[in-house]
């Protein structure tokens, strides 16, 4: 049994018992890692003192991929092998990517596989693998800086990411060897970083314009509880589009239709990026771009010209703002403040237009590039168990409705957008032919009525339905969305009990086997032993469950039934024994055994804690 | 009854009297207390069985809160507890109600041709909202009467409220369309 720990309420365990946790902002343009040290959340720099890691990966023949600044520097010279803004491709099919008009930038492999692959000198790589390279660098940075292995991380995602994009993000983290405690929505992370909950009760807006995505969230905050009321956005609109628009304008001015070569296009983006900043203070800035004949076109860009180019894009962000306000049932006058997140909100023009829309001065106190990582670090520190008395609670929502295909190519919504997660909903369906023994279930996400206008997440079949008259079978389809916003679907024929469950692996996602193969490949690369890693993973899981069950028995032993206690003790003993061995399968079995033995106990403990919370609450209300 | 029993009523879960009139403030307070207790974030390091249970309970508490918070969902739920189901295919209504629905629909259909469609849409939305509030007040009285006749009337009104809610959603969708084009 665990030793009794004595510590002051509100105080974390002794420093040496602190677990190492980090928050990771996997951004379109830049990525960051942050952690809580001595009670303060801060982003971690690399050896050169840079906090921002450019989200750029360059693949070379027979060598380890380059990540970050070095890779970005080669982006103009080696554009086909240097992948920028990979976040735009996460969880997307090739058709979606081409719709964004960016598929010409790289050699996308035309294959049958649903997950697009980019051909590089280092081989064909998927967006999940490319993102994992970025995450590996951040993991290494955190572990070097903290001097130990990370217990868990919180990885942020745009609130408007759909199931496929979230799953892809989680897969990347898994591939990078990270234990994901939670996927956290970026705007919620920003609200946490600002400590908005510590103020009085109120409604706050987070406006997040990143490199490639736009998100708006409306939160209700009250004594430590962050309730997301509504979220909206556009996963294909960001600061990059502003740069593209400026780049195109420059080519028009230079008398060219568009950039002729890849390096020209990259050069013009770099120029657009450079030109924006001085226009905050100055009325005009000199610009130059390379021409096909090798010469340079020289010109100038005035502030009012800049506004003419970028205003339409900023205005595009305001219609999701309106929708979110309406979904939340909130009027602009009720908004306390607007938090600005994402590098693109540095633009004074963005601040001006957003401020006008929400009728208040936007909050910009925390560096908009770092604020998300900082919030994620605070949440990671709590989730890993370093602050047992922390009252903070984040209640997030799903951004897009989930449903299934019904007759006639229509979508029947099962969980509607802006429903608080976790969420579980069931809907009954029936067979439409006599003797029908199978039912195809097509899971979709989106707001539109037609299947073709929604995003296909997964397809599966419920087989083995006993033959019955049409309409006699009762098929209950249950959707469950967990706290990460990830969906699992169960279909069950109620009369026969035939059941089929899928952890929704999105149509544009990777299968477990594919991930396993990638893991193995990356291991070969790093000369690491796959078996050793699997063993280590099971040991970590074993330690976690042992610690958790032992602590539960210690505090709530009175809730145990006699024979149950014996079963649990036996399972604990068994797990302790095999944990020290080298067979991951035996550890896994022992973990399952202990899980099974402690299920009823867990339910009773949860009841007891609910009872206690509710009675304690009543005293509060009447005093 | 065990709180983690997924078949117990939402009123029992939130420890509130079975009633249409509900104290939103107390409901919200209890909701937060319950989520603080069961939310998966409280079990990030727990055993798999506990984490699974926590997701299920948190989902149930969310569903319960949504049901009790919203007058339409609450009305439906109270009827369901009495064994009265609302049949979506049942479209028998009194003439006055049908006329009113038709008129609102026509007004919605004409919005795009208006000089100021946004303003017109807002006006319609306000009118719908007034009707929903009226029905909510009527339902509060009917549910306290607590007899077969009053439940029958409550069922009728709840069905009507459902139609107003649908119109409200159509108005919202129209508002989105106006922004796009």
What does the pLDDT look like over A328-381, one tens digit per residue?
989 999 999 899 998 889 888 999 999 999 998 898 888 999 999 999 999 999
pLDDT value at position A616? 67
Residues of A in contact with B180 (CB under 8 A): 319
Distance between A103 CA and the closest CA of chain B, angstroms: 26
Closest CA to A541 of A606, A481, A595, A485: A595
Q: What percent of chain A has pLDDT over 90?
A: 37
Tens of pLDDT along A150-178?
999 999 999 889 899 999 999 999 999 99
Query: Is pLDDT larger for residue A54 or for residue B148?
Result: A54
B132 at interface of A, judged by CB pairs closer than 8 A? no
Choose, out of B15, B40, B41, the residue to mutate when testing the contact with A (most A CBs < 10 Å): B41
Examine the pLDDT at A145 and tell me if it is beyond 60. yes
Closest Cα to residue B32, out of B62, B9, B55? B62
Query: In this complex, do A482 and B175 lie within 8 Å of one another by their Cβ atoms?
Result: no
Cβ-Cβ contacts under 8 Å for B42 (sequence gap 6 or more): B36, B54
Q: What single DSSP character describes residue A397?
A: B
Q: Report the 10 Å Cβ neighbour count for A304.
A: 10
Number of A:B CB contacts under 8 A? 130
Q: Among this protein's residues, is A208 annotated catalytic?
A: yes
Mark out the alpha helices in A100-185 (DSSP H runs): 127-146, 163-175
The mean pLDDT value for A576-585 works out to: 89
Nearest CB neighbour to A423, from listed B35, B59, B179: B59
For residue B47, list chain A residues with Cβ-Cβ distance below 8 A: 544-545, 548-549, 594-595, 598, 602
Quote the CA–CA distance of A551 and A452 in Å, as a whole number.
51
- Chain B stretch 11-50, residues whose beta carbon is closer than 8 A to a beta carbon of chain A: 15, 26, 29-30, 32-41, 44-50
Which residues in A lie closer than 8 A to residue B29 (C-beta atoms)?
617, 621
What is the DSSP pairing of strand A152-157 with strand A21-25? Answer: parallel
* Domains observed in chain B: 3-69 (1.10.287.110), 95-180 (1.20.1280)
Mind listing the pLDDT tens digit for each residue in A465-475?
Answer: 888 888 888 88
- Tokens 């259909």 belong to residue: B109
How does residue A101 score in pLDDT terms, banded at 50, 70 and 90?
A: low
Per-residue buried b or exposed e for A350-389, using 16+ beta carbons within 10 Å of the residue's own CB: bbebbeebbebebbeebbbbbbbbbbbbbbbbbbbbbbee
Query: For residue B85, which residues of chain A lie inside 8 Å, CB to CB?
Result: none
The answer to whether the Cβ–Cβ distance between B45 and A547 falls below 8 Å is yes
What is the model's pLDDT at position A405?
A: 92
Is residue B8 within 8 angstroms of chain A, CB to CB? Answer: no
The residue in chain B having the minimum alpha-carbon distance to the alpha carbon of residue A601 is B50
Q: Which residue has the higher pLDDT, A14 or A612?
A: A612
The residue with greater pLDDT, A526 or A434, is: A434
Note if A186 is an active site residue: yes
Q: How far is CA A33 from the centre of its chain?
A: 14
CA distance A266 to chain B (A): 31
User: Do the chains contact at B53 and A602, CB–CB below 8 Å?
Assistant: yes
pLDDT band at A41 (very low <50, low <70, confident <90, very high): very high
| Other CB atoms within 10 A of residue A70 CB | 11
- The pLDDT, as a whole number, for residue A9 is 42
Sort out which chain B residues have CB atoms less than 8 A from A610's CB and list them: 3-4, 34, 37-38, 57
* Closest residue of chain B to A184, computed from CA coordinates: B41
Mean pLDDT of A594-598: 90
Q: What is the mean pLDDT of residues A204-217?
A: 90
- The predicted pLDDT at position A81 comes to 92
Round to whole Å and give the CA distance between A130 and A174: 13
- B58 CB neighbours in chain A (<8 A) are 422, 483
Label residue A1 by pLDDT band (50, 70, 90). very low
Between A8 and B75, the more confident residue is: B75
Catalytic residue among A46, A186, A215, A271: A186
Q: What is the pLDDT of residue B181?
A: 46
Q: Using the beta-carbon criterion (under 8 Å), do B44 and A181 form an inter-chain contact?
A: yes
Of the pLDDT bands very low, low, confident and very high (cuts 50, 70, 90), residue A425 is very high
Question: Looking up tokens 């960001």, which residue turns up?
Answer: A238
| ipTM rounded to 2 decimals | 0.86
Place of tokens 């994009």: A165
Q: Which of A91-105, A251-265, A481-495, A515-529 has the lowest mean pLDDT?
A: A515-529
- Contact of A337 with A364, CB cutoff 8 Å: no
Q: Do B44 and A383 touch (CB under 8 A)?
A: yes
Which of A2, A603, A611 is the best residue to mutate to test the B interface, defined by the most B CB atoms within 10 Å of its own CB? Answer: A603
Q: Is B169 on the interface with A (CB under 8 A)?
A: no
pLDDT given for residue B47 in this prediction: 82
- Backbone angle region of A409, left / alpha / beta, with phi > 0 → left and psi within -120 to 50 → alpha: left
Nearest to B159 by CA among B97, B67, B69, B96: B97
Name B7's Cβ contacts closer than 8 Å, sequence gap at least 6: none
The tens digit of pLDDT for each residue in B80-119 reads 998 888 876 666 788 888 889 889 999 988 888 888 888 8
Whether A439 shows a pLDDT value over 80: the answer reads yes
Average pLDDT by consecutive 10-residue portion of chain B (181 residues)?
63 91 93 93 86 93 95 92 78 83 89 85 90 93 88 91 90 77 46
Question: Does the pLDDT at position A623 exceed 50?
Answer: no
Average pLDDT over residues A530-559: 85
pTM of the model: 0.85
Query: B145 CB near a chain A CB, below 8 Å?
Result: no
**pLDDT for A167:** 92
What is the reported pLDDT for A519?
Answer: 63
Q: Flag whether pLDDT at A78 surpasses 70.
A: yes
CA pair distance A608, B60, nearest whole angstrom: 17
Check pLDDT > 80 for residue A295: no
What is the mean predicted confidence (pLDDT) over A589-615? 88
pLDDT value of position A8: 42
Average pLDDT, chain A: 85
Cβ neighbourhood burial of A596 (10 Å; 0-12, 13-18, 19+): middle
Give the separation between CA B9 and CA A488, rounded to whole angstroms. Answer: 25
Q: Tell me what the mean pLDDT of segment A246-274 comes to.
A: 76
> Chain B residue closest to A315 (CA)?
B179
What was the pLDDT predicted at A267?
76
First to last CA, chain A: 39
pLDDT band at A21 (very low <50, low <70, confident <90, very high): very high
Q: Which DSSP helix (H) or strand (E) runs through A353?
A: helix A348-358
Contact A231, A159 (CB under 8 A): yes
What band does A311 get if pLDDT is binned at 50, 70 and 90? very high
Over residues A50-59, the mean pLDDT reads 95
Q: Verify whether the Cβ–Cβ distance B63 to A425 is below 8 Å.
A: yes
Confidence (pLDDT) at A510: 61
């Amino acid at each position: 049994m665990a030793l009794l720990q004595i510590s002051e309420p509100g105080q974390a365990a002794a420093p040496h018992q602190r677990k190492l946790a980090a928050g990771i902002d996997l951004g379109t343009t830049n990525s960051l890692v942050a952690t809580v040290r001595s009670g303060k959340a801060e982003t971690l720099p690399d050896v050169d003192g840079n906090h921002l890691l450019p989200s750029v990966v360059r693949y070379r023949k027979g060598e380890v991929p380059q990540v970050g600044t070095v890779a970005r520097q080669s982006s103009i010279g080696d554009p086909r092998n240097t992948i920028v803004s990979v976040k735009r491709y996460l969880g997307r099919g090739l058709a979606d990517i081409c719709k964004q008009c960016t598929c010409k930038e790289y050699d996308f492999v035309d294959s049958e596989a649903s997950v697009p692959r980019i051909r590089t000198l280092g081989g064909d790589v998927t967006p999940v693998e490319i993102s994992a390279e970025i995450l590996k660098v951040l993991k290494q940075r955190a572990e070097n800086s903290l001097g130990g292995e990370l217990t868990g991380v919180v990885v942020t995602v745009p609130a408007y990411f759909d199931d496929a994009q979230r799953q892809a993000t989680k897969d990347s983290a898994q591939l990078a060897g990270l234990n994901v405690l939670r996927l956290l929505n970026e705007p919620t992370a920003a609200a946490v970083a600002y400590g908005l909950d510590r103020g009085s009760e109120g409604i706050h807006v987070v406006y997040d314009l990143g490199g490639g995505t736009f998100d708006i969230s409306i939160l209700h905050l009250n004594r430590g509880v962050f309730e997301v009321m509504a979220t909206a956005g556009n996963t294909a609109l960001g600061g990059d589009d502003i740069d593209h628009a400026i780049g195109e304008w420059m080519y028009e001015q230079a008398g060219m239709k568009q950039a002729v070569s890849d390096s020209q296009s990259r050069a013009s983006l770099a120029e657009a990026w450079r030109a924006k900043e001085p226009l905050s203070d100055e009325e005009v800035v000199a610009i130059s771009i390379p021409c096909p004949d090798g010469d340079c076109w020289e010109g100038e860009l005035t502030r009012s010209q800049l506004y003419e180019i970028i205003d339409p894009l900023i205005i595009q962000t305001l219609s999701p703002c309106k929708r979110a306000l309406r979904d939340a049932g909130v009027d602009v006058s009720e908004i306390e403040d607007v938090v600005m997140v994402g590098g693109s909100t540095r633009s004074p023009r963005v601040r001006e237009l957003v401020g006008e829309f929400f009728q208040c001065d936007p909050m910009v106190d925390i560096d908009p590039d770092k604020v998300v990582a900082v919030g994620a670090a605070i949440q990671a520190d709590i989730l890993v168990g370093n602050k047992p008395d922390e009252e903070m609670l984040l209640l997030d929502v799903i951004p897009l409705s989930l449903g299934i295909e019904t007759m006639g190519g229509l979508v029947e919504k099962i969980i509607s957008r802006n429903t608080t997660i976790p969420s579980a909903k069931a809907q009954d369906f029936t067979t439409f032919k006599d003797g029908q023994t199978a039912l195809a279930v097509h899971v979709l996400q989106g707001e539109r009525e037609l299947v073709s206008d929604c995003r296909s997440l997964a397809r599966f079949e419920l087989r083995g339905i006993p033959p019955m008259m049409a309409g006699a079978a009762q098929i209950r389809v249950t959707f469950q969305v967990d706290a990460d916003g990830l969906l699992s679907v169960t279909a069950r024929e109620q009369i026969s009990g035939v059941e089929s469950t899928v952890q929704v692996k999105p149509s544009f996602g990777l299968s477990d086997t594919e991930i396993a193969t990638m893991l193995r490949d990356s291991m070969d690369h790093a000369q690491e032993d796959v078996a050793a890693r699997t063993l280590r993973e099971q040991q970590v899981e074993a330690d976690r469950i042992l610690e958790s069950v032992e602590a539960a028995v210690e505090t709530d032993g009175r809730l145990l039934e006699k024979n149950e206690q014996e079963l649990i003790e036996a399972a604990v003993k068994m797990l302790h024994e095999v944990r020290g061995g080298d067979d991951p399968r035996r550890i896994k079995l022992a973990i399952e055994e202990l899980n099974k033995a402690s299920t009823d106990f867990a339910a009773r403990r949860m009841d007891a804690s609910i009872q206690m919370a509710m009675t304690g609450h009543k005293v509060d209300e009447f005093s | 009854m065990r709180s983690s029993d997924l078949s117990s009523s939402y009123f029992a879960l939130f420890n509130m009297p079975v009633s249409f009139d509900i104290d939103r403030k107390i409901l919200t307070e209890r909701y937060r207390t319950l989520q603080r207790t069961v939310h998966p974030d409280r079990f990030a390091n727990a055993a798999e069985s506990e984490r699974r249970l926590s997701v299920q309970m948190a989902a149930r508490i969310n569903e319960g809160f949504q049901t009790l918070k919203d007058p339409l969902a609450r009305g439906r739920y109270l009827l369901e507890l009495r064994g009265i189901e609302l049949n979506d295919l049942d479209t028998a209504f009194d003439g006055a109600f049908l006329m009113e629905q038709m008129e609102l629909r026509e007004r919605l259909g004409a919005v795009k041709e208006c000089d100021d469609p946004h303003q017109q849409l807002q006006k319609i939305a306000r009118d719908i909202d007034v009707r929903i509030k009226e029905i909510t007040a009527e339902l509060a009285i009917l549910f306290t009467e607590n007899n077969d006749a009053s439940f029958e009337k409550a069922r009728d009104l709840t069905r009507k409220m459902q139609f107003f809610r649908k119109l409200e959603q159509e108005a919202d969708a129209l508002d989105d369309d106006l922004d796009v084009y």
